[in-house]
Amino acid sequence: MEEKQDLKPVKIRELLQAGKRRLSEHEILDSEYDAKALLIYLLNCDMTGLFLRMEDEADGRLIQDYEALIDKRNSHYPLQYITGTQNFMGYDFHVNVGVLIPRQDTEILVEEALLTAGSMGNKPLRVLDLCTGSGCIGISYYLKRREAGLRDTVVLSDISAKALRIAKENAVSLSGTYDTDMEQDILFLESDLWNRLEEEKAEGFSLILSNPPYIRTGEIPELMPEVKDYEPITALDGEADGLSFYRRIAKDAPDFLKNGGYLILEIGYDQYEDVCGFLQNGGFSEIELRKDYAGLDRVIKARYCK
């Protein structure tokens, strides 16, 4: 499409087809989806808007910008870091290279948290989201509860100041009509797991949620280039056996849980038995497993009764 642009007009439809073709030549998995998403991003419209403009002529500027984005995506730079957004639980979360891109499977953790919170009576709870990253877990949990008329207090913590800035931005932009009192409800703490949460012990949490890094260090080079080359390594690396964070979480979570509170964790597909063992050693009971849409082990829930 490069040479043709001066010779004959290019329609949006043709631009899209060329984009899709170039992406598939570079082995970009979902080339059709990504080609559309990049065009939608540049045109600042939605899918319907794109379809309505298919027969319009693309101007030179659009062609140039689109080519630049296709080139960027061809380097396996993740789509979501280009468009700056990922939908999670129905909310558009802002993302950049400082945070892990929220995964659809993680919605299972939030659904489990909402069900668990619902089973604890119709009252506001104190909740902790450890390793919050973009804030997707804690913020979507908060918003769903808020939509149901409950104002929980949610603490979002992360080792990365950069991540917390994104989480804060997401909390502000997504809380929309609630923004006046949101600052009392959602709190941000820079902490390497528990080390800066000491003050939270006294009151404790009803729920502790976390999707910690859980990939074995040795397996990181085998991940897709989108993940291993661009997503933050600190959000992925669970050390040699991938279980380091679960050990630390299971050991100390009881000090931060209210009596009868729950710990809900995302896990890797082959980590259930190990994590279950850590939780039993930590004095947890009522351990339950939830599988993801692919039928793989994904979320573990456990209760702590003093």
Residues that bind ligand GLN (CB under 6 A): 100, 102, 106, 131-134, 136-137, 211-213, 235
Between 106 and 116, CB nearer to ligand GLN: 106
Between 125 and 209, CB nearer to ligand GLN: 209
- Bridge partners of 24, per DSSP, are none
Q: How far is the CB of 246 from ligand GLN (least distance, A)?
A: 12
Q: How far is the CB of 133 from ligand GLN (least distance, A)?
A: 3
Between 224 and 305, CB nearer to ligand GLN: 224
What gap in Å lies between CA 71 and CA 261, rounded to an integer? 49
Between 31 and 211, CB nearer to ligand GLN: 211
Between 66 and 93, CB nearer to ligand GLN: 93
Q: How far is the CB of 123 from ligand GLN (least distance, A)?
A: 25
- Kindly give, in sequence order, each residue whose CB lies less than 8 Å from that of residue 209, ignoring residues fewer than 6 positions away: 109, 110, 113, 127, 128, 129, 130, 137, 138, 141, 264, 265
Nearest-CB residue for ligand GLN: 133
Q: How far is the CB of 168 from ligand GLN (least distance, A)?
A: 14
What gap in Å lies between CA 53 and CA 48, rounded to an integer? 9
- Bridge partners of 262, per DSSP, are 207, 303
Query: Number of C-alpha atoms within 13 angstroms, CB side, residue 167?
Result: 32
Q: How far is the CB of 136 from ligand GLN (least distance, A)?
A: 5
Q: Where are the alpha helices (DSSP H) in the chain?
A: 12-25, 31-43, 47-52, 60-74, 79-83, 107-119, 136-147, 161-174, 179-185, 225-230, 244-256, 272-281
